Structure 1
Amino acid sequence: MVESLFSPLTLRGTEIPNRVFVSPMCQYSATDGMPNDWHLVHLGSRAVGGAGLVLSEATAVSPEGRITPNDVGIWTDEQRDAWSRVTEFVRSQGSVPGIQLAHAGRKASTAQPWEGGDPVPLDEGGWEVVAPSEKPYPRDGDEHPTRRLSTDEIAGVVDDFAAAAERASDAGFEVVEVHAAHGYLLHEFLSPVANDRDDDYGGSFENRTRLLREVVGAVRAAWPDDEPVFVRISATDWLDEEASWDVEQSARLAPLLADAGADLVDVSSGGISPAQNITYTGPNYQLPFAETIREHVHDEGADIAVASVGGITSPEQAEAIVANERADAVLMAREFLRSPYWPLHAARELGEDVEWPVQYRRAKPR
């Protein structure tokens, strides 16, 4: 059976009504990690717009795991309870609520992007930055002093992700995504660009992937058996001139993520270094990474779905990705900022009859 963009995707016991997913998009609009009315409206409007899965932005598993002081979190019960208002509304619109759990690593403690994104000093509300190694994220100007995590602290990171997953489930989320991309902590352990450790968490491929595999296993253990676990990865660091993370290692990693309990790998790229040389070839420029990984997991017989991101804007483009089995789903970010109701318009263009919110049915094209 050939799947379409508006075919449901069932992972474990969870049915996602279509293959259009809202990609996590940082809003930098929280106080003390608490989601607020902005997050309810931002995520809720995409559910009204017909997205099959609405993923929250990168949600910190600990205070030091935030990118900025204004990131949302889920390290307290109060944050958990605030998220429940969002999940209840998203679910009421027929969408599946999902959350991305994250730790910013050496890219933490910075100002909001519209305030320049520079490191926030300790005496101005910043905090100590931790990473695999004492290698700060390269910046033009001041760099955060970066402290190497001890093995005991690494175990604490695993515990933080597991505790966050448990709170997320209690808050009503039905999909959890582990953020291991874009130069944040788990990606930093994967890539030799940021990881020069010589212990069990550095050096070889097995050692560099160890923390991510442990985190996925711990999240899977804390998460309901009938609900899926996603992992977002950067397929490549876009750094061909030095030892780095690349698509071949990503393909090798994907079956290991399946073994650890992941059900879908969400394939993005980049973020580990400002020296990255991204080759933009136009729409679908990141799709070949997802295709390579999807082919490899099928060859290996691994039971894990693969989703693609990157420059996906038109209904025909998204439909072709799914119908031609290039990926199992698409995640969109900027296009959802431009058009919160994109799935409703896409369904019309593709000749699909989908439900509109009852409050909006008078506007549904006939």
Structure 2
Amino acid sequence: MHLFTPFECRDVTARNRVMVSPMCQYSCEAADGLATEWHRVHLGSRATGGAGIVMTEATAVTPRGRISPEDLGIWSDDHAEALAPIAEFMKSQGATPAIQPAHAGRKASTRRPADGYGPIHGDRGWTPVGPTETPWPYNDEEPLETQRLETDDIAELIDAWTAAAERAVAAGFEIVEIHAAHGYLLHEFLSPVTNTREDAYGGDFESRTRLLREVVTAVRETIPDGTPLFVRISATDWLPDRESWTVSDSARLASDLEPLGVDLIDVSAGAIHPDQQVPDTGPHYQVPYAEQVAEGGVPVGTVGGITTPEGADAIISNGRADLAIVGREHLRDPYFAIRAAQELGQEAPVPRQYTRGF
């Protein structure tokens, strides 16, 4: 097996094992969450560039689930209608279109990075929600008041995830990935750093993972049996100085999710708290996390410093992960997969319109 071995999962076969990592574009206009021409060109060019799977950015399941006012959404049929042509174009280029329904939790209502990351107070912002009333601790700005989710609120959010997944499949997306990483809502419930509840959704491991398991179960029952279901997690909180989420917890979670119908764990790390202790971020620095999570018995994808064709291929050929999930290198080079195929001596997925350039 190598980087250009097709990835088969349920009824989907991706042409290779390069996946474009979900990367927020903060490019919706009028704060409406609707996909724009930017999203069409951004995602479409990566599909033209030869990647096997092209994943949208985190796509909010409710308006309050956006990170910023400029975030992509899928909380209505209008949002699905705006996304459908993008999914169709990606398929026309031989890529597998994928989507990441998400909820930002207590990290919502923030300015996009280009405008200087920080909380949005006043009419343009909104009240974030989380497992408790404790807000995201901004370093030098007043935090936003945060609403604790009650049991009825949680039930409504589960419904929002299932409706979003149903719309996504109807819009033509062939893989659904639940976002449970990076300090956003589902990760906030998983981690003891942020989840200090004392009810059925907080406390021990089983209670803290309950919401994610319920979302997974509901989404799996909603989407077709042939549609793969991925989950992105933060393998570790990078907070060894306190009780926190660890790689061992992630491996245990993976073994719990597999029988619920999860087909792959997309393994990332961190972002639950500003105090995190990030390790040296050299090439492939997160691959060991994916290897440990894979011990739970479910296929994994890995991220983190994957920048070269040889490195991506080695991850797959050495059995360290099932997908090489490439983020920032795809921002620098939309044609990473074509270049990788050429350098590795594989048949390059070049669009017919571009063949004379290769």
TM-score by length of 1: 0.96
Q: How does 1:157-306 map to 2 (within 5 A)?
A: 157-294=157-294, 296-298=295-297, 304-306=298-300
How far apart, CA to CA, are the structure 2 residues paired with 1:279 and 1:136?
25
Residue number in structure 2 paired with 1:14: 12
Residue number in structure 1 paired with 2:338: 344
String of CA shifts for 1:298-322, please: whole Å, max 9, x gaps: 4xxxxx3111000000111010100
Residue number in structure 1 paired with 2:303: 309
Give the residue type in structure 1 aligned to 2:126. Answer: W
CA contact (8 A) 1:91 1:97 kept: yes
Give the residue type in structure 2 aligned to 1:135. Answer: T
CA contact (8 A) 2:231 2:262 kept: yes
String of CA shifts for 1:278-329, please: whole Å, max 9, x gaps: 11151011000001111x224xxxxx31110000001110101000000011
Q: How does 1:77-92 map to 2 (within 5 A)?
A: 77-92=77-92
How far apart, CA to CA, are the structure 2 residues paired with 1:253 and 1:122?
38
How far apart, CA to CA, are the structure 1 residues paired with 2:119 and 2:290?
33
CA contact (8 A) 1:93 1:357 kept: yes
Residue number in structure 2 paired with 1:301: none
Residue number in structure 1 paired with 2:352: 358
CA contact (8 A) 2:238 2:278 kept: yes
Query: Gaps (5+ residues) in structure 2?
Result: none
String of CA shifts for 1:151-179, please: whole Å, max 9, x gaps: 11011111100000000011000000000
Give the residue type in structure 2 aligned to 1:319. Answer: D
How far apart, CA to CA, are the structure 1 residues paired with 2:117 and 2:219?
30
Residue number in structure 2 paired with 1:27: 25
Secondary structure, aligned partner of 1:44: helix
How far apart, CA to CA, are the structure 2 residues paired with 1:155 and 1:330?
34
CA contact (8 A) 1:122 1:128 kept: no
* Cα offset, 1:338, TM superposition: 0.2
CA contact (8 A) 1:230 1:263 kept: yes
How far apart, CA to CA, are the structure 2 residues paired with 1:122 and 1:186?
26
CA contact (8 A) 2:21 2:327 kept: yes
How far apart, CA to CA, are the structure 1 residues paired with 2:281 and 2:218?
38
Residue number in structure 2 paired with 1:126: 125
How far apart, CA to CA, are the structure 2 residues paired with 1:27 and 1:281?
23
Give the residue type in structure 1 aligned to 2:300. Answer: V
CA contact (8 A) 2:267 2:290 kept: yes
Secondary structure, aligned partner of 2:236: coil
CA contact (8 A) 2:281 2:305 kept: no
Secondary structure, aligned partner of 1:43: helix
Asked if residue 57 in structure 1 is aligned to residue 57 in structure 2, the reply is: yes
Q: Give the total of aligned pairs.
A: 355
Residue number in structure 1 paired with 2:73: 73
How far apart, CA to CA, are the structure 1 residues paired with 2:46 and 2:107?
28
Identity %: 56
TM-score by length of 2: 0.98
* Cα offset, 1:354, TM superposition: 2.5
Secondary structure, aligned partner of 2:244: coil
CA contact (8 A) 2:339 2:348 kept: no
Secondary structure, aligned partner of 1:45: helix
Asked if residue 334 in structure 1 is aligned to residue 346 in structure 2, the reply is: no
How far apart, CA to CA, are the structure 2 residues paired with 1:329 and 1:111?
32
* Cα offset, 1:114, TM superposition: 1.1
Give the residue type in structure 2 aligned to 1:206. Answer: E
Find runs of 4+ consecutive structure 1 residues off by over 3 angstroms: none
